[in-house]
Amino acid sequence: MAFIFENLDVYRKAVDFADEIYGLTETFPKGNYYLTDQLNRAALSISANIAEGNGRFHKSDRVNFFRIARGSAFECVPILEICKRKALIKEEQHLKLKKDVEDICKMLSGLMKY
């Protein structure tokens, strides 16, 4: 049985983003646990909150979880910037991931309006 949220493009994009972040942070050298942990948690939180929001019966509850998901996406932005500054990711990676976050945020805003 498929859950309805699994059909949402924003959910699939958020899962892909979290998966990409996990793969990326596995390459970080030791001593960067705080960045790895925070970035992984924020990235996972996006899709988790989309799923949880879709499990709510009231529109206001759903929208609140979508807002939390968007907040988690925004949280990734400064962490990615720090990763770039510490030379843990390259400029191209930073730009691509930041664009992914921007796309997810736009999709979440559309979902909240819907």
Record the pTM: 0.94
| Architecture of the domain whose range is 4-113 | Up-down Bundle (1.20)
Mean pLDDT of the region 32-60: 95
CA 82 from centre of chain: 16
Q: What is the pLDDT of residue 52?
A: 96
Q: Indicate the SS3 state at residue 55.
A: coil
Phi then psi for residue 27, to 5 deg, are -90, -10
pLDDT at 13 over 70: yes
pLDDT at 15 over 90: yes
pLDDT confidence tier of residue 114, bands split at 50, 70 and 90: confident
Any idea where the domains of the chain sit in the sequence? 4-113
Half-sphere exposure of 33 (CA within 13 A, CB side): 2
- Of 22 and 59, the structure prediction assigns the larger pLDDT to 22
